[in-house]
Amino acid sequence: MRIIAWPATDVGRVRSHNEDSHLVDDEIGLYLVADGMGGHAGGAHASQLCVDVVRRVVRRGLEQLDAVSPGDRNAAIAEMLGAAASEASARIFDQAAADQRLQGMGTTLTGLLLYGERGYVVHVGDSRAFLMRSGTCRQLTNDHSWLNEQIQAGLLTEEEAEASDLKHIITRSVGFERHVEADVIQLNVSLGDAFLLCSDGLANYVPPQEIAVLARDHWYADLPQLCTDLANKRGGDDNITVVVALACNDDDTRRPVRDGQVAVTDTLPPGVEV
């Protein structure tokens, strides 16, 4: 099994600068999206620092996996990803404390590590990860946002949350505190599975059902730019970053299987496999 990935990032139609960062590292099978907060200097710096630190920690951890027994590797990888997010949070927090220009900076983090036939999603904030399989699109991550917490508590409906002006309020981020607790979701990966990681500049405009249709009707290689263009067409009030990664056995840009063309929109709690 090999992975082919395609990224796209765009400043959008309203912002003057792009505070998103992303990573496509096919060598170690790591794919990241980070949406920075904290102003022009702080947001861009936080997201890029997060990506750099997570990449370094994961690369170092993978080099040490040979010493871990096969039965313990799932737990070791999950622990490594959590540690990577927390180390990034400490670095961002310390730099913000040392430089007044960077005070208040932070970032979301949504990443995918593919190791063997397993996938591991690490998640903090309200960027999102989706799994496209057999014509469906399932959201794997659970937003760490005030609105989502209100929905889960039964205080708001999905429709009320969709109409709210408070989508930008997140309850967990990388860098606002020295330590952050990341969600880590594990799953089996099959040939033909595709993953879409995105910042909320896409998620606020394009729902999972529509992602499933776009993926069904277009080449995966074109999907990041198609999604970006659609978000811009619908307002583009935030930076937009999309990374699509396909599990295949050759240089394959095929469309997904056309069976079962129903988008599944429920989210999975950490530790639940699909």
The H or E element spanning position 91 is helix 73-98
Reference 82, options 27, 51, 123; nearest CA is 123
Q: Using DSSP bridges, classify how beta strands 20-25 and 118-124 pair: parallel, antiparallel or unpaired.
A: unpaired
**Residue 123, strand partner residues:** 110, 183
Distance of CA 43 to the CA centre of its chain: 17
Dihedral sign (CA 150, 152, 155, 158) = positive
0.95 surpassed by pTM: no
Reference 19, options 4, 35, 6; nearest CA is 35
Retrieve residue 269's tokens.
Answer: 């709690």
**Angle (nearest 5°) at CA 165 between 13 and 153:** 135
**Residue 194, strand partner residues:** 132, 246
The residues of the chain scoring below 70 in pLDDT are 40, 250-274
How far apart are the C-alpha atoms of 236 and 52, rounded to whole Å? Answer: 27
Q: Where are the domains of the chain?
A: 2-248
> Would you say 33 and 22 are in contact if contact means Cβ atoms under 8 Å apart?
yes
Q: Is 36 helix (H, G, I), strand (E, B) or coil?
A: strand
For 2-248, which CATH class?
A: alpha beta
pLDDT value, residue 274: 57
Distance of CA 219 to the CA centre of its chain: 21
pLDDT value, residue 266: 45
Retrieve residue 263's tokens.
Answer: 């988008």
Retrieve residue 174's tokens.
Answer: 């990388």
Residue 249 vs residues 1, 4, 96, 216, 269: alpha-carbon distances, Å: 5, 10, 44, 19, 29
How far apart are the C-alpha atoms of 218 and 105, rounded to whole Å? Answer: 37
